[in-house]
Homo-oligomer: A and B are copies of this chain.
């Protein structure tokens, strides 16, 4: 059984490992909003418990056991987010912090029944995949909106940025999950992208376009 804090470290390491192979002390510290010295302390403990492999000065990697634990927390986090949006009518930019707390509730039965109650969802309100109870993810095929060419179309199925500011911005532009879009122009000057959504033309910056994930349904 892991403490609340240990669980958060494992989850952080898991997410960092999605980007870089070798997860470093400073990166963990930044993500956890703590100091590198504290991270070193916790890293030793997690290594002692067999949850991570650790060589001094060389960063850490999750063991099988550690990875399973992390995935389980990710599963809980995302299921709770679905609950908050689908059942309690929270907006997609309001759910993360509450889910950060709910993900630590320790009851297998609870999460099984919640999963069923929600209809075994495959993705959370941000399009992130929800692993099943065995830790398996349905594999998804995303492409960044920025990579689409003029004329390409697709469906918004995820975002790779979860800040409230970003999500509210998308909401305002009508760019929500499930929306059908088509790229109508790419501005030479600043690389901003003009897209067609629900019969409207909207212009989004390169920065925004980078963080919208599209499941492509055909090029032109």
Contacts and interface: CB of A to CB of B under 8 A. Distances in A.
A110 B89 contact: no
B90 A113 contact: yes
A151 to B, nearest CB: 43
Contacts of A90: 109, 113
Nearest to A90: B113
Interface stretch (A99-107, A175-183, A211-219): A99-107
A213 to B, nearest CB: 28
Contact of A98 (B88, B94, B107, B117): B107
The quantity of this chain's copies bound in the complex is 2
A106 B101 contact: yes
Q: How large is the interface on A (under 10, 10 to 19, 20 to 34, 35 or more residues)?
A: 10 to 19
Nearest to A114: B88
Contacts of A84: 110
Contacts of A114: 88
A121 to B, nearest CB: 15
Contact of A89 (B88, B98, B106, B113): B113
A172 interface: no
Interface string A113-134: 1100100000000000000000
Interface string A155-183: 00000000000000000000000000000
7 contacts: A84-B110, A88-B114, A90-B109, A90-B113, A98-B109, A101-B105, A101-B106
Interface of A: 84, 87-90, 94, 97-98, 101-102, 105-107, 109-110, 113-114, 117
